């Protein structure tokens, strides 16, 4: 697999899988406005993924288009971080998962605006405007729920227990991240990490939440090793294209 | 000669409206960036308002359709992302149409403080009152937020500064 192709899949798959997860909320949000917020964010993320898949397909040069990349790969070919495939849980889980992702994504795409690749820069500049709204929404909700009622606070603590172990994978550089940095395509995750943790610390302080001490991280998604959730997501997401190949609407 | 035809093409494109905000043409919206001739092929360059805007595919189909009606058979539609679309490209005419349609047009120019949430005063498009509040930064489409007027009590869409 060409490194830049694989790197684009990482970015795209994060958007697609989290977008798919958020779409599951459609019609189930706690109130109408938040139902719409969740699906708006999903739409942005899937839109961003589309641009990235189109570009990835060009780099790969095997004639695969965005639909084939999005819908016709198997679990171990997806490169999204484990965090984004975690189940929606309750609203607090969804909010925290979104925040942990957005805080990273905002820093990552800010840095991607300096990428050597003209197309990655264009996608990053476009996406960053949208990600700014996402981060604002998710951090406000972390604060509102964390610093809310006793019940909402305890639900946020529960979400933190379940999701914290997936945060570190986002900002831990592996071989591919280092390669992309050396070649000028991708950002320096070692520089992003301190800003990421600082953002979390500041938000948690406002939310009356304790940042966990634990720094042992679950990882694997970025290199294609996923949890059992991934299979269920793909089964639902890919069903139509697998059952009726080439189907369009 | 070519310049005259290009002007005609721009006029034809005025007929294509935004499927989600039908009161706006795609020219009011600022999504048509260029009209070029490549030999005998007419190239229309468009840019999406939001990455996931579902209207883009429909807009592309409609561009081809109106041009074909006018006899332009060789048309390609190219999508570019950079420079990223901004509400600063919305024409004054477009803003007026939005207001008359009941959607509050973007207030001010895009800058970081707006994106980061410094509050702006969005006048109610129905009664003109400035006593309004945001209900949700995400509205019925990606480009809008949901507001409420505290005087006439009507909810309304705000075409957000982006």
B116–A123 C-beta distance less than 8 A: no
Minimal Cα–Cα distance from B142 to chain A, Å?
6
Average pLDDT over residues A14-42: 96
Which residues of A, range 101-140, sit inside 8 Å of B by Cβ? 118-119, 121-123, 125-127, 129-130, 132-133, 136-137
Which residues of B, range 5-64, sit inside 8 Å of A by Cβ? 48, 50-54
Which of B51, B80, B115 is closest, CB to CB, to A48?
A: B51
- Whole-number pLDDT of residue A234: 98
Tell me whether strands B155-159 and B103-104 are parallel, antiparallel or unpaired.
parallel
Q: Which of A4, A220, A14 is nearest to A134 (CA)?
A: A14
C-alpha dihedral sign at B117, B121, B124, B125? negative
- Whole-number pLDDT of residue A199: 98
Which residues of A, range 19-38, sit inside 8 Å of B by Cβ? 33-34, 36-37
Q: How many CB atoms lie within 10 A of CB A210?
A: 11
Cα–Cα distance between A144 and A208 in angstroms, integer?
10
Q: Please, what's the b/e burial string for A186-197 (b: 16 or more CB within 10 A of its CB; e: otherwise)?
A: bbebeebbebbb
> Percent of chain B scored above 70 by pLDDT?
93
A41–B115 C-beta distance less than 8 A: no
B112 has a pLDDT exceeding 80: no
Judged by a CB distance cut-off of 8 A, whether residue B115 touches chain A is yes
Alpha carbon distances (Å) from B123 to A190, B88, B120, B147: 45, 18, 10, 10
DSSP string, chain A: --HHHHHHHHHHHHHHHHHHHHHTTTTT-SSHHHHHHHHHHHHHHHHHHHHHHHHHHHHHTS---HHHHHHS--GGG----HHHHS---SHHHHHHHHHHHHHHHHHHHHHHTT-S-HHHHHHHHHHHHHHHHHHHHHHHHHHHHHTS-HHHHHHHHHHHHHHGGGHHHHH---HHHHHHHHTTSS--HHHHHHHHHHHHHHHHHHHT-PPP--------GGGT---THHHHHHHHHHHHHHHSTT---
Average pLDDT over residues A122-130: 96
Structural contact between residues A18 and B120, judged by C-beta atoms closer than 8 angstroms: no
Q: Which of B26, B21, B101, B10 is nearest to B61 (CA)?
A: B26
Average pLDDT of chain B? Answer: 90
Q: Which of A180, A137, A157, A122 is nearest to A37 (CA)?
A: A137
Q: A50 contacts in B (CB within 8 Å)?
A: 51-52
Average pLDDT of chain A? Answer: 97
Average pLDDT over residues B137-152: 91
A137–B138 C-beta distance less than 8 A: yes
- Whole-number pLDDT of residue B1: 59
Average pLDDT over residues A70-88: 98
Q: B60 contacts in A (CB within 8 Å)?
A: none
Structural contact between residues A49 and A2, judged by C-beta atoms closer than 8 angstroms: no
A90 has a pLDDT exceeding 80: yes
Cα–Cα distance between B134 and B119 in angstroms, integer?
9
Structural contact between residues A237 and A71, judged by C-beta atoms closer than 8 angstroms: yes
Cα–Cα distance between A139 and A137 in angstroms, integer?
6
Q: Which of A129, A85, A51 is nearest to B52 (CA)?
A: A51
Across the A:B interface, residue pairs with CB atoms under 8 Å apart total 73
Average pLDDT over residues A206-210: 97
Helix (H, G, I), strand (E, B) or coil at B111: coil
B142–A127 C-beta distance less than 8 A: no
Which of A36, A47, A129 is closest, CB to CB, to B84?
A: A129
> Percent of chain B scored above 90 by pLDDT?
72
Q: Which of B49, B141, B155, B64 is nearest to B102 (CA)?
A: B155
B21 secondary structure, DSSP code = S
Q: How many CB atoms lie within 10 A of CB B52?
A: 23
What are residue B104's DSSP bridge partners?
B158
Q: B116: pLDDT confidence band, cut at 50, 70 and 90?
A: low
Minimal Cα–Cα distance from B115 to chain A, Å?
7
- Whole-number pLDDT of residue B58: 93
- Whole-number pLDDT of residue B117: 54
A43–B136 C-beta distance less than 8 A: no
Alpha carbon distances (Å) from B146 to A36, A110, A144, B93, B122: 10, 27, 19, 22, 11
Mind spelling out the 3-state secondary structure of A72-86? CCCHHHCCCCHHHHC
Interface test with A, best of B54, B138, B155 (most A CBs within 10 A): B138
Q: What is the pLDDT of residues B71-92, one digit of tens each?
A: 999 999 999 999 999 999 999 9
ipTM value of the model?
0.85
A130–B53 C-beta distance less than 8 A: no
């Amino acid at each position: 697999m060409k490194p830049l192709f694989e790197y684009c899949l990482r970015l795209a798959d994060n958007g697609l899988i989290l977008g798919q997860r958020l779409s599951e909320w459609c019609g189930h949000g706690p109130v109408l406005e938040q139902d719409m917020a969740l699906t708006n964010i999903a739409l942005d993320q899937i839109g961003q993924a589309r641009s990235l898949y189109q570009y990835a397909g060009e780099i790969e040069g095997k004639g695969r288009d965005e639909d084939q990349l999005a819908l016709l790969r198997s679990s171990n070919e997806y490169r999204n971080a484990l965090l984004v495939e975690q189940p929606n849980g309750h609203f607090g889980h969804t909010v925290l998962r979104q925040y942990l992702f957005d805080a990273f994504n905002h820093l990552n795409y800010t840095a991607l605006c300096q990428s050597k690749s003209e197309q990655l820069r264009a996608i990053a500049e476009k996406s960053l405007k949208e990600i700014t709204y996402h981060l604002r929404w998710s951090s406000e909700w972390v604060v509102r729920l964390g610093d809310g009622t006793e019940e909402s606070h305890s639900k946020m603590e529960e979400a933190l227990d379940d999701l914290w172990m997936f945060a570190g994978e986002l900002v831990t550089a592996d071989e591919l991240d280092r390669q992309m940095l050396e070649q000028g395509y991708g950002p320096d995750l070692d520089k992003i990490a301190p800003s990421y943790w600082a953002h979390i610390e500041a938000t948690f302080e406002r939310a009356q939440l304790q940042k966990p001490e634990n720094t042992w991280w679950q990882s694997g998604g970025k290199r294609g090793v996923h949890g059992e959730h991934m299979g269920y997501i793909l089964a639902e997401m890919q069903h139509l294209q697998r059952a009726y190949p080439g189907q369009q609407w | 000669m070519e310049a005259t035809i290009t002007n005609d093409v721009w006029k034809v494109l005025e007929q294509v409206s935004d499927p989600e905000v039908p009161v706006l043409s795609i020219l009011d919206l600022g999504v048509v960036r260029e009209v070029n001739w490549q030999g005998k092929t007419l190239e229309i360059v468009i840019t999406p308002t939001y990455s996931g805007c579902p209207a883009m595919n429909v807009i592309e189909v409609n561009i081809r359709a109106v041009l074909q009606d006018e006899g332009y058979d060789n048309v390609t539609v190219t999508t570019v992302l950079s420079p990223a679309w901004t509400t600063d490209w919305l024409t004054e005419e477009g803003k007026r149409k939005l207001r008359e349609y009941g959607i509050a047009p973007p207030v001010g120019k895009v800058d970081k403080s707006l994106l980061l949430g410094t509050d702006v005063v969005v006048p109610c498009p129905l009664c003109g009152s400035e006593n309004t509040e945001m209900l949700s930064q995400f509205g019925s489409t990606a480009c809008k937020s949901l507001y409420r007027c505290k005087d006439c009590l009507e909810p309304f869409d705000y075409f957000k500064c982006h």
